[in-house]
Amino acid sequence: MATGTIFTQSADFRFDTIACQKCDGHAKSVIRLSSFWLSESPAVDPMSSNRIIIQSGYSSTVRRLWSDTWTYPNLDIAVKVTNNLALTGKVFGFSAQKESPQVLGAGIQYFYGGKDTLNWVTSIQRVDLKGLSHFRLTSLTFDIRKWIEWHSIHFRIGAGSNFFKERSYKGYSEPSSMEGQINFLGLDALISYSLLKYGIGTRIHPDRSMMTFFIQKELF
């Protein structure tokens, strides 16, 4: 697992902001967007011979919410225990407005495909969002991706579903609990330069698409 404290540029996890007074659906938007952010999984190349991958970056909303572009941090680590299986984890904290959220999660990625090419990946991960004033959130994501190489660029393309359960602290949201599902299409592109990999990706949903920028370091 990776641990640390990082900072986000703009993300509002509170229900008592000015925007909340103007929009009845503010709390639901905060919850759904938070779960969608947590659905981001590390891009573990199934054909790489390296065993440990550290990936750090940011996810941002494609369209503005209440005149702001919300930006969230990402920090992932993956360990390939066999050629077909990787374990992934998220353990970090950060500062956002007046909040100090904590992200705790783990998952698996299973690689499969043709006789000599493991270019399909199925991943499952659970991530909990804790340390907030108004709610706690559990996010479970299942997705299937295919890796495609074109010249020196590696693409990861597929689709997934994000399931979430939220519990509001007393007096902050009605209803006091919320469950839902977010289906999405995902596309990432990675290119190697020097000792690092640089990536850009998107997860597309009609109401809440996100862009992700990240740097990846492979070890051993």
Confidence at residue 20, expressed as pLDDT on a 0 to 100 scale: 52
Output the tens digit of pLDDT for each of the chain's 220 residues.
344 444 445 677 877 765 555 555 778 888 899 999 999 999 999 989 899 999 999 999 887 666 677 889 999 999 999 999 999 999 999 887 778 899 999 999 999 998 778 999 999 999 999 999 889 999 999 999 999 999 999 999 999 999 999 998 876 666 678 899 999 999 999 999 988 999 999 999 988 899 999 999 999 8
105-158 pLDDT, tens digit per residue, is 999 999 999 877 899 999 999 999 999 988 999 999 999 999 999 999 999 999
Question: Would you say 17 and 26 are in contact if contact means Cβ atoms under 8 Å apart?
Answer: yes
3 state SS for the chain: CCCCEEECCECCCCCCCHHHHHCCCHHHHHHHHHHHHHCCCCCCCCCCCCCEEEEEEEEEECCCECCECCEEEEEEEEEECCCCEEEEEEEEEEEECCECCEEEEEEEEEEECCCCCCCEEEEEEEEEEECCCCEEEEEEEEEEEEEEEECCEEEEEEEEEEEEEEEECCCCCCCCEEEEEEEEEEEEEEEEECCEEEEEEEEECCCCCEEEEEEEEEEC
pTM value surpassing 0.85: yes
